[in-house]
């Protein structure tokens, strides 16, 4: 049994669903039940059952559509219950689901994408017998004399060309060997000169090291003498300052002594009553 649902609206503006019920019999005929046996619905219900059924539904279906290899689509119980309850399926629209033609049965297409091949075909496609036949010996018939002569001439020419090429290769190898020996001899001489130059450089380096050591010693001696000279200079400056101070003290004591002598002479003359000439400072 298959259901075809076509959405519409009733007089109240509510969506209505027309349910067209078809029953497919085992003999291949499709019939539709009378509307008198259909359940009654409310006047404002969203589900309406058409009052008339097409007479073509009772006609037998074409042989291609009722093939025993193609199963008929049976309405889902959940969809039928939803229709009876007054709900419109959300996945079916007027644009997506065209109205079925009169007298045609709804048949689901057969999905051949996941259809597995037969066992015989799979074994034939995956299994091939290996070729174990022994290679056959190729037997060529005798050629005419002219062809044989021509082939012999070609073979002689090919052999001659190969021999010429081999001699040329040997000659080139000999020339390359000569150049190699000459280059090797020059390399050996260059190695000898390099060894001599290296020995001379080592000898000069040793002498330079000795001179550097002697130079370092003289530099250290010079630094030590310079340090000592600086010390002596500082000592000389210190002693010179002391000498200058001593010289100033000598001058001061000399002046003090002269002044004291004159004062003492005046006092002595005064004590003895001897007049002394006045001294002008």
How far apart (Å, rounded) are the C-alpha atoms in residues 142 and 229?
120
Task: Say if 128 falls within a structural domain.
Answer: no
Task: Say if 253 falls within a structural domain.
Answer: no
- Residues 92-101, mean pLDDT to the nearest whole number: 46
End-to-end CA distance of the chain: 165
How far apart (Å, rounded) are the C-alpha atoms in residues 105 and 70?
12
Task: Say if 195 falls within a structural domain.
Answer: no
Q: pLDDT band for position 136 (50/70/90)? A: low
Would you say residue 12 has pLDDT above 70?
no
pLDDT in tens, 49-58: 444 444 444 4
pLDDT in tens, 18-45: 556 677 777 777 776 554 444 444 444 4
Task: Say if 248 falls within a structural domain.
Answer: no
Would you say residue 8 has pLDDT above 70?
no
Q: pLDDT band for position 211 (50/70/90)? A: very high
Task: Say if 142 falls within a structural domain.
Answer: no
Would you say residue 102 has pLDDT above 70?
no
- The total number of structural domains in the chain stands at 1
Q: 168 or 90, which is more confident?
A: 168
Residue 23 is predicted with a pLDDT of: 74
Task: Say if 19 falls within a structural domain.
Answer: yes
Task: Say if 259 falls within a structural domain.
Answer: no
Would you say residue 125 has pLDDT above 90?
no
Task: Say if 143 falls within a structural domain.
Answer: no
Give the range of the structural domain holding residue 57, as residue numbers without chain letter: 2-85
Q: pLDDT band for position 81 (50/70/90)? A: very low
Instruction: Give 38's Cβ-side CA count (13 Å radius).
Output: 21
Q: 268 or 8, which is more confident?
A: 268
Residue 106 is predicted with a pLDDT of: 46
pLDDT in tens, 143-194: 788 899 999 999 999 999 999 999 999 999 999 999 999 999 999 999 999 9
Question: What is the pTM (predicted TM-score) of this model?
Answer: 0.31
Q: 217 or 47, which is more confident?
A: 217
């Amino acid at each position: 049994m298959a259901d075809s649902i076509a959405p519409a609206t009733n007089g109240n503006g509510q969506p209505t669903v027309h349910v067209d019920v078809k029953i497919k019999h085992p003999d291949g005929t499709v019939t539709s039940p009378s509307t008198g046996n259909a359940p009654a619905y409310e006047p404002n219900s969203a589900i309406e059952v058409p009052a008339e059924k097409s007479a073509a539904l009772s006609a037998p279906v074409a042989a291609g559509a009722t093939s025993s290899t193609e199963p008929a689509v049976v309405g889902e119980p959940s969809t039928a219950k939803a229709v009876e309850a007054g709900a419109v399926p959300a996945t079916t629209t007027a644009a997506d689901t065209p109205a079925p033609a009169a007298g045609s049965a709804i048949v689901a297409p057969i999905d051949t994408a996941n259809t597995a091949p037969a066992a015989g075909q799979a074994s034939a496609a995956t299994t091939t017998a290996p070729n174990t036949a022994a290679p056959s010996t190729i037997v060529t018939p005798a050629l005419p004399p002219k062809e044989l002569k021509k082939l012999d001439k070609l073979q002689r020419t090919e052999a001659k060309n190969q021999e010429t090429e081999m001699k040329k290769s040997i000659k080139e190898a000999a020339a390359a060997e000569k150049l190699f020996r000459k280059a090797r001899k020059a390399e050996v001489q260059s190695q000898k000169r390099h060894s001599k130059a290296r020995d001379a450089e080592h000898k000069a380096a040793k002498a330079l090291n000795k001179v550097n050591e002697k130079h370092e010693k003289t530099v250290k001696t010079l630094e030590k003498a310079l340090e000592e000279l600086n010390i002596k200079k500082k000592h000389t400056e210190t002693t010179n300052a002391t000498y200058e101070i001593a010289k100033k003290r000598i001058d001061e004591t000399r002046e003090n002594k002269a002044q004291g002598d004159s004062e003492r002479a005046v006092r002595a003359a005064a004590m003895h009553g001897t007049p002394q000439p006045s001294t002008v400072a």
